[in-house]
Amino acid sequence: MNNILIKSRQNQHGSAGVKMVVVLVVLFLIGHAAVNFIPVAYQGANFKEEMQTAVVQGSALPTGNPVATTQVRIKQSADTNNLPEDTIIDVKQIKGGLQAHVFYVKKVNILPFGIYVYNYKFDHTAAPVGFLMK
């Protein structure tokens, strides 16, 4: 009876090592995706804030050319945040202030060796809000 129990459990040996390898591979893939995606998402969020600041400050300029000044600030911010060269930046005068629209696509390697590349699309329009529009 005891020999039958031992023989039936011999097929269970070694499965812990395989599970450990699978878990490590999955953790590596998640870590790789996070290391590549998080900086791109952070740059996008930071750029949104800088766009909003540039638009508000450009709208408050009493003299000069606010459109050109705002466009220069947004381009400098784009360089600081490592945005692609083909970034589309459009700044125009609207009723009560300025409006800036920026669009770009940045490729992010989610899986190693280029197995899966995610296209991070940034499409944001910044305009003054609240009391600045009155």
pLDDT tens, 77-113?
999 999 999 999 999 998 878 999 999 999 999 999 9
Residue-range definition of the domain harbouring residue 27 = 2-133
Model pLDDT for residues 5-28, shown as the tens digit of each residue = 555 565 556 678 889 999 999 999
What number of CA atoms fall less than 13 Å from residue 27's CA on the CB side? 6
Q: How many domains does the chain have?
A: 1
**pTM (predicted TM-score):** 0.80
